[in-house]
Every structure is written in structure tokens, then in C-alpha cells.
Amino acid sequence: MLKLIKKYSVFFCILFIMNVQHSYAGPPFFTDDPEPVRYKHWEYYISSINTLQFGVWSGTIPHIELNYGLVPNVQIHLLSPMNYNYYPSRGANFGYSDTEAGIKFRFVQETDNSPQIGVFPIVEIPTIKNSEFSNGRTKIFLPVWAQKSWCKLTTYGGVGYWINQGNDNKNWIFSGWEIQYAISQVVTLGGEVYYHSADTKTSKSGTAFNLGGSINTSDKFHIIFSFGHSLTNDPIFNSYLGLFWTI
């Protein structure tokens, strides 16, 4: 009898996820997930990332991200940013520099008792010579991500290694974990805590958090957002605001 109750509880939980929950991993958080876009489906993002450190603003206004389910369990990824920075002493600069491309591959499927696991190698390719926003060297990110869901609750995270070429640069590690909850069919909220080691010879490692989520105006259109602050070392404020379409 208990096995039968458990079986039907899992069944109705799955139905609830398919018909009510809207949980989207990755953006608007730095921590990513192993779940690829569904086969022959698209994701479109138009977003802005902003960082304030030592009185200097920097980020993207905007960047465009495209993801496509190429084959089952495999997603291809492209991100094109328009970069900016603003110094109170000398004003704003704008420019395009590095194009981001990647392939997400999920090699372990999620079950009732185990998470899904995947890799998402990313390459940042210098596209336009622009010393303000790029050192002209290719950078590579090699992460492993895991994710588990229970009805309205989803959690994911992992660790990755950045190959960060360039004078005075250092290869560095990123590790993060996120948890989110579908409050309703319209609103999902969550947060992440992440760590990064130093990426240059003069910078510091750090730990930070972000809080955010999505407002799901329909099954295909979503507003995603996050904001957060460093927890250790230099004070840094981050924010993310984007529009997200699924087709």
C-alpha cells in the first residue's frame, strides 16, 4: 500500500511540474545547470548584466543569447555582448569584443533518487580588436553541473575551471550552488552562493550571493532578474535583468 501511495505521489508531482512549474536554470544566475534545451526547440535572451566595483560600472547593454536543442540531451549556445564601462572621471565606453560559444551535454538523466549531470564547455572568442574589453586571447570554461527537482523545488550547481590566457592573468575556479522555488504559476524565486578564485596576479578570490527569479507572463515569455553582493574581500554589486523567450 505504501509503495502504491508513493508511486502515485511521484506521478502527480511530475504532472504538477509539467503543467504548473516554470523553473529556469542558469540565467539570471552565474551558477548554471546540466539541463539542455529540448530537442528542436529554441531559447532567446535579451539581457543586461551590471557590476559596480570601486565606483566603476561595467557590464552589457545588452547581450543576446541563443540556445538550440540540436539533438536529444545536447544544446548549442551562442552569446553576443555589447559591453560598456563607466568611470566617473572619464565617462562611458562602449564596444563589442568576445563572442561566447558552447555545447551543453547531459550524460546522466535525473531519477527519483539521483540528479541529472552534464557538462557545458564554453569558449570566449576574440571577435573585434578592442583593448578596452578584451585582451585578444581565447578563454575556455570547463564546468560540470548537477541538478535535482522535487515538485516545486529545484536545486543545481557544480564547479568549473577557467583557462584564462593573457599577461598577468591566472587560470581560475568557479563553484556555485542555487536553489529555487515555484511560488505560483507566475512567480519563481531563488538564490545562489558562489565562489571564485583569483583570475589575475593582483586580484583576490571571493564569495558572493545573488537573489532573483522569473516572472512568467506566459508559457513562452518570461522576465528574469537577479541582484547580489560580495560576501568577502572587495565590495562588489551585481545585477541582471532580461527577457526570455522559449519556442
How do the domains of the chain map onto residue ranges? 2-246
- Angstrom distances, CA of residue 106 to CA of 38, 152, 167, 241: 11, 22, 35, 27
SS3 245: strand
Q: Could you tell me which CATH class the domain 2-246 is placed in?
A: mainly beta
pLDDT in tens, the chain (247 residues): 444 444 444 433 433 333 333 334 589 999 999 999 999 999 999 999 999 999 999 999 999 999 999 999 999 999 999 999 999 999 999 999 899 999 999 999 999 999 999 999 999 999 998 899 999 999 999 999 999 999 999 999 999 999 999 999 999 999 999 999 999 999 999 999 999 999 999 999 999 999 999 999 999 999 999 999 999 999 999 999 999 999 9
Distance of CA 245 to the CA centre of its chain: 15
E-assigned strand segments in the chain: 42-53, 56-71, 74-87, 91-95, 98-108, 116-119, 122-126, 139-150, 153-164, 172-182, 187-196, 206-216, 221-230, 236-246
Residues 118, 106: Cα–Cα separation, whole Å: 4
